[in-house]
């Protein structure tokens, strides 16, 4: 098989894996306000864990570019949020207002995150023989809880589970789209990888602390949300540890 097709298909698998994340929510037909708050707490924990994983990876590549990306991600998402807040009639389907803005932000942030991962896949396949396969498998498995994080924000706000699956896969489409160019022009794309990792992490951290955690505290106690966030971070870390030992 042509290496370009192989790289594209490998990255496409990682994107499709994100769609598995929302499936557990298919058994939840209704959610109480407290359950919605706990979902926000779990999503916050997953995003924080993913953010620090991105920062660690970027820091190993280039600390300065990662830090610049982190600050850039914060500035970008803060400005974007302020612009969207001015449009009170903003809606996604039947969902409008603040909930629609949060839905758009979580999908947008995860799409930014996926762009960095797509470059990572392409760069990995241009390197050592087995590195590409390992990175593909790692990202594919890692994308499942990220798809869950997206669903935990979308579903409680009125989105159907199948819509959450679609948006999760959509957010990961930059992976197959950017993996091939990164594979072909690895010298050009490699310097942008730590910047992209920092950008995604900065945006995710801002979204978590500005939106998800405060909203989670509206209908649940702070110890309950702190427990949900901490256990989600621990679960993500165990997930990644198991992945590394396989």
CA distance 25 to 142: 18
Tell me, yes or no, whether 25 lies in a domain.
no
- At 243, the pLDDT band (50, 70, 90 cuts) reads low
Cβ contact 139:14 at 8 Å? yes
Cβ contact 173:13 at 8 Å? no
Give how far the C-alpha of residue 143 lies from the chain's centroid of Cα atoms, to the nearest Å. 8
Tell me, yes or no, whether 80 lies in a domain.
yes
* Entry pTM: 0.75
Q: What is the pLDDT of residues 81-97, one digit of tens each?
A: 777 666 655 555 555 55
Tell me, yes or no, whether 24 lies in a domain.
no
Tell me, yes or no, whether 239 lies in a domain.
yes
Q: What is the pLDDT of residues 205-224, one digit of tens each?
A: 888 888 888 888 988 899 99
Tell me, yes or no, whether 146 lies in a domain.
yes
Tell me, yes or no, whether 93 lies in a domain.
yes
Average pLDDT over residues 105-127: 80
**Mean of pLDDT over the chain:** 82
Range of the domain at 195: 3-16+32-245
Tell me, yes or no, whether 97 lies in a domain.
yes
Q: Which residue has the higher pLDDT, 214 or 126?
A: 214
Tell me, yes or no, whether 23 lies in a domain.
no
What does the pLDDT read at residue 65?
A: 93
Task: Tell me how many domains the chain contains.
Answer: 1
Q: Which residue has the tokens 């994080």?
A: 149
The torsion angles phi and psi of 93, rounded to 5 degrees, stand at: 65, -125
What does the pLDDT read at residue 70?
A: 93
């Amino acid at each position: 098989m042509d290496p370009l097709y192989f790289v594209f298909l490998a990255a496409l698998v990682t994107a499709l894996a994100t769609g598995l994340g929302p499936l557990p929510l298919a058994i939840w037909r209704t959610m109480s306000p407290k359950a919605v708050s706990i979902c926000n707490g779990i999503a916050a924990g997953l995003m924080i864990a993913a953010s620090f994983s991105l920062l660690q990876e970027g820091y190993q590549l280039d600390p300065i570019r990662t830090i610049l990306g982190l600050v850039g991600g914060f500035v970008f998402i803060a400005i974007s949020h302020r612009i969207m807040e001015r449009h009170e009639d903003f809606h996604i389907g039947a969902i409008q207002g603040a909930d629609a803005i949060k839905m758009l932000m979580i999908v947008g942030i995860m799409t930014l995150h996926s762009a960095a991962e797509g470059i990572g896949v392409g760069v990995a396949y241009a390197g050592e023989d087995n590195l590409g396969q390992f990175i593909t498998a790692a990202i594919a498995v890692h994308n499942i809880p990220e798809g869950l994080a997206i669903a935990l924000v979308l579903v409680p706000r009125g989105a159907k589970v199948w819509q959450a699956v679609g948006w999760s896969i959509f957010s990961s489409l930059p992976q197959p789209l950017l993996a091939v160019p990164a594979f072909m022009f690895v010298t050009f794309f490699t310097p942008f990888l730590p910047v992209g990792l920092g950008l995604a992490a900065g945006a995710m951290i801002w979204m978590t602390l500005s939106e998800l955690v405060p909203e989670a505290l509206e209908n649940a106690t702070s110890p309950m949300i702190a427990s949900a966030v901490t256990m989600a971070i621990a679960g993500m870390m165990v997930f990644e540890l198991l992945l590394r030992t396989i």
